Amino acid sequence: MTIVEMRVHMDCLGCKNKIEKALKKLDGVDNVDVDMYKQKVTVTGWAEQKKVLKRVRKTGRKAELWPFPYNQEHHDYAQHYYNQYYTNPANYYSTYNYRKHGYNGHDHGYYQQPPSSTIFDERYSSMFSDDNTTGCSIM
C-alpha cells in the first residue's frame, strides 16, 4: 500500500470534483482524499507516484509532491508552518524538470518569495507625501 500526497492548486469545487474523478479512474487507486483548505490531495492504493502525479496534471491543475513533513505527534504541523511563514499563494511557473519531478524551480517544493516592494519608483511613494502639497490631486 502506498500513500501519495500532493499539493494541487484548486480554485473551486469543480476543480476538486474533476481531480477526484480523474484519480478514481486510475488503476490501483483505493481512496482519494481532497482537502481544499490545505490544497492537498492524498491518494492511497497501489498506483505509482509518477502515474498519479501525471494524471492530476492532465486535468490542467498545477501539482507537486507534498513538501511538508508529516508527524503523528504534531498532526497539523504543515498547516501551522504554512500559515506562519507564507501568507501569499505560490507563484507557479514551469521549468524543465517540472513534468518529471513536480518542483517549482530550485526550492524543491517550497513557496516562492513574494516580489519585493522595490519594484516601484520613488515618485510613487512621494506622490502622497506631506512635503508635496500639489502632488495629490484626490483632495
Count how many domains the chain has: 1
- The answer to whether position 122 is within a domain reads no
- The answer to whether position 88 is within a domain reads yes
- The answer to whether position 46 is within a domain reads yes
- The answer to whether position 67 is within a domain reads yes
User: 18 versus 138: which is more confidently predicted?
Assistant: 18
Mean pLDDT to the nearest integer, 35-45: 90
CATH number, residue 73: 3.30.70.100
CB 9 within 8 A of CB 62: yes
- The answer to whether position 44 is within a domain reads yes
- The answer to whether position 127 is within a domain reads no
Average pLDDT, the chain: 71
Cα torsion through 107, 91, 111, 65, rounded to 10: -70
pLDDT of 93 higher than 60: no
Q: How much is the pTM? A: 0.50
Task: Please tell me the predicted confidence (pLDDT) of residue 130.
Answer: 64
Task: Please tell me the predicted confidence (pLDDT) of residue 105.
Answer: 46
- The answer to whether position 119 is within a domain reads no
- Which range among 55-69, 82-96, 124-138 has the greatest average pLDDT? 55-69
- The answer to whether position 39 is within a domain reads yes
Q: Give the Cα separation of 135 and 33 in Å (integer).
A: 55
**pLDDT tens-digit readout, 64-83:** 888 776 544 444 545 555 55
Range of the domain at 77: 2-112
